[in-house]
Amino acid sequence: MMSDREYDAIIVGAGFAGLYMLHKLRGLGFTARVIEAADDVGGTWYWNRYPGARCDIESFDYSYSFDEDLQQEWEWSERYAPQPEILRYLQHVAERFDLRRDIQFETRVERASWNDDTKRWTITTDAGDSFSAQYCIMGTGCLSSFNRPDIAGLDDFAGRVYLTGHWPHEGVDFTGQRVAVIGTGSSAVQSTPIIAEQADQLTIFQRTPNYVVPAHNYEVPAEEAQAIKQSYAELRATAQESSVGSGRTLPRTPVLATKLDEDTFQADMERRWAVGGLVGFVGAYADLIMDPAAAQRVEAFFADKIRERVKDPETAEKLIPSGHHIMSKRLCVDTGYYENFNRDNVELVDLKATPIDRIEAGGVRTSEHLYEADALVLATGFDAMTGALDKIEIRGKGNQTLAEKWESGPITFLGLMSAGYPNLFLVTGPGSPSVLTNMVSSIEQHVDYIAGIMSMMRERGAQEFEPLPASEPAWITHNNTAAEMTTYMQANSWYMGANIPGKPSIFMPYIGGFPAYRNICDEIADKGYCGFAIDGEGQPCDIDLDDHMMRLMPEELIEAMEAA
């Protein structure tokens, strides 16, 4: 029998996380192999090829910072790069750092099992490989497991069904077709303006309207690109101190939204609207995600913008979100989404008023009407943060699967590791800032941190690293404390797992801010990795987690909280 191929680390996934992890470990002299299901690098940017797909963090920001030459030589053409360009960037990174020779494509990891005698993971794949590695590193992505909704009759549909997260590589031409799109999240907001230009008829089925802000995307002039590159160090340093890990967001208005007089507030909002995107609105006011009254003020401004942009008043009212606060579901960034509804060939169906009854061969039947369609687009999102991990049978100590341990919701320390699964790292796992930040900043922070742990372990000649069991409830309590201070807990969002029937309702990402999180991680490392056990020995994490978060809260918010 052939023995397992041995590595220091097996890395699952060749997206932003897996590529940098491989490069980092190689540089430190570790042996590593990446296993990737697709036939190329790219991760989420490999699969999400729907028309209009692009990043919603500015390209110069949404890119690796680890190599100065890389960031100087790569040319971003647009403020928000389209998917093909981001994919080309990741392909370039793979070539430039000669990564492909250690990536095994078209192979899906099926199982990872911890062997407590050898202190190693055995990783097996659908191609029949078996690898042995001291570390297993999951770069499986937060939005990579597509949600195919369980709508009655879906399989009866006679036309083609497309998933935005699994779009045909050859592209789709909807010319002359009647198209039905289900979902109104980012993927639908980005794709429907382009589909509308091709299709004869486009019907958009909306369960929940989202807050949508214009991208104001543009081709980046050479002088602007040059100026950004010259100040890249500053941009990256700003990102490290930004609550969302982004170097290009507009600075916070130093007065709470609830305290601004009407004229100043309107002027400030117009200034932000002109910049657009998450750039203009994330962290706009210290009370925006903390105080429903602040959120409502901003929401009223957004509602007026929808009324301005959508000509038919009835359609405009249907598009105005209600029942959840702005930001508590991810803000969508658009180019022409609302203007879509001014076209004669586009119709909005409000599923709250007339729910889908079933899908039939000829189209989508609601409680009121059959909407005939030749093609159906499911822009229905992802089983976020845990979906891709759940698909792998991960067995730790005592043979328990991670999915079993997480039956009532993900349990981690720092969103990085789970007790009982030694040497298993989750890059931007649930319980880390991840999807609430610029993903590339969070990925780089985690990759560097994991590499630091592995180097420390090698120096000590240690074999086994895992959280102390007590670290997890403390981390979860801190996560909940942070989330409960915000309006996020009240929304039926994918952050809460609410889009997947039966998924436990837990706020999954860490909302205490990227700098607080990084400081906590760093202090833990400085204290010899307190809260973790190294070969079974460890000190409890005695860090005041809440204090780390509160220390970085804006002064105006603290003052208001004290006054209240």
Contact 446, 416 (CB under 8 A): yes
Specify the residue, 207 or 503, whose C-beta has the smaller distance to ligand NA7: 207
SS3 call for 136: strand
DSSP 7: E
Among 151, 204, 288, 289, binds ligand NA7 (CB under 6 A): 151
At residue 233, the 3 state secondary structure works out as helix
Nearest to 85 by CA among 54, 61, 110, 48: 54
* Minimum CB–partner distance for residue 180 and ligand NA7 (Å): 11
Least Å distance between CB 169 and ligand NA7? 18
Count, in order, helices (H) and strands (E) of the chain.
19, 20
191 binds ligand NA7 (CB under 6 A): no
Out of 23, 33, 49, 207, the only residue in the binding site for ligand NA7 (CB under 6 A) is 207
E-state strands within 109-240 = 109-115, 120-125, 130-138, 160-163, 178-182, 201-206, 212-214
Answer yes or no whether residue 194 interacts with ligand NA7 by CB under 6 A.
Answer: no
Query: Between 10 and 359, whose beta carbon lies closer to ligand NA7?
Result: 359
* Residue whose C-alpha is closest to residue 208's, from 305, 322, 300: 322
Name the minimum Å distance from CB 375 to ligand NA7. 17
Could you write out the three-class secondary structure of 401-437?
A: EHHHHCCCCCCCECCCECCCCCCEEECCCECECHHHC
Residue 149 is a binding residue for ligand NA7 (CB under 6 A): yes
Residues in the interface with ligand NA7 (CB under 6 A) total 20
- What residue is closest to ligand NA7 based on CB? 185
Angle between helices 16-27 and 83-96 (to 10 degrees): 10
Minimum CB separation of residue 439 from ligand NA7 in Å reads 9
| Listed ranges 73-81, 256-264, 378-386, 461-469: which one lies at the site for ligand NA7 (CB under 6 A) | 378-386
Q: Is the separation of the CB atoms in 39 and 16 below 8 Å?
A: no
Q: What's the token pair of residue 159?
A: 């036309």
Interaction pattern, residues 334-363, with ligand NA7; x per rule: CB under 6 A: -----------------x------------
- Reported as type and span, the H/E element at residue 67 is none
Contacts (Cβ under 8 Å, ≥6 apart) of 16: 43, 64, 90, 139, 439, 440, 443
- Site membership for ligand NA7, residue 177 (CB under 6 A): no
Q: Which is nearer to ligand NA7, 436 or 451 (CB)?
A: 436
Candidate list 81, 269, 379, 483; residue touching ligand NA7; CB under 6 A? 379
Q: What is the DSSP string of 21-48?
A: HHHHHHHTT--EEEE-SSSSS-THHHH-
Residue placing its CB nearer to ligand NA7 in the complex, 185 or 280: 185
Residue number with CB closer to ligand NA7 (129 or 383): 383
Q: Does residue 187 interact with ligand NA7 by CB under 6 A?
A: yes
Site mask, ligand NA7, residues 92-131, x = CB under 6 A? Answer: ----------------------------------------
SS (H, E, C) 338-404: HHHCCCCCEEEEECCCCCEEEEECCEEEECCCEEECCEEEECCCECCCCHHHHCCEEECHHHCEHHH
Q: Report the residue number, 211 or 406, with the smaller CB distance to ligand NA7.
A: 211
- Told to check if 479 binds ligand NA7 by CB under 6 A, we report no
The answer to whether 452 contacts ligand NA7 (rule: CB under 6 A) is: no
By beta-carbon proximity to ligand NA7, the closer residue of 93 and 188 is: 188
State the nearest-atom distance from the C-beta of 383 to ligand NA7, in Å. 10
Q: How far is CA 254 from the centre of its chain?
A: 28
Binding site for ligand NA7 (CB under 6 A): 143, 149, 151, 164, 182-188, 207-208, 330, 351, 379-381, 494, 499
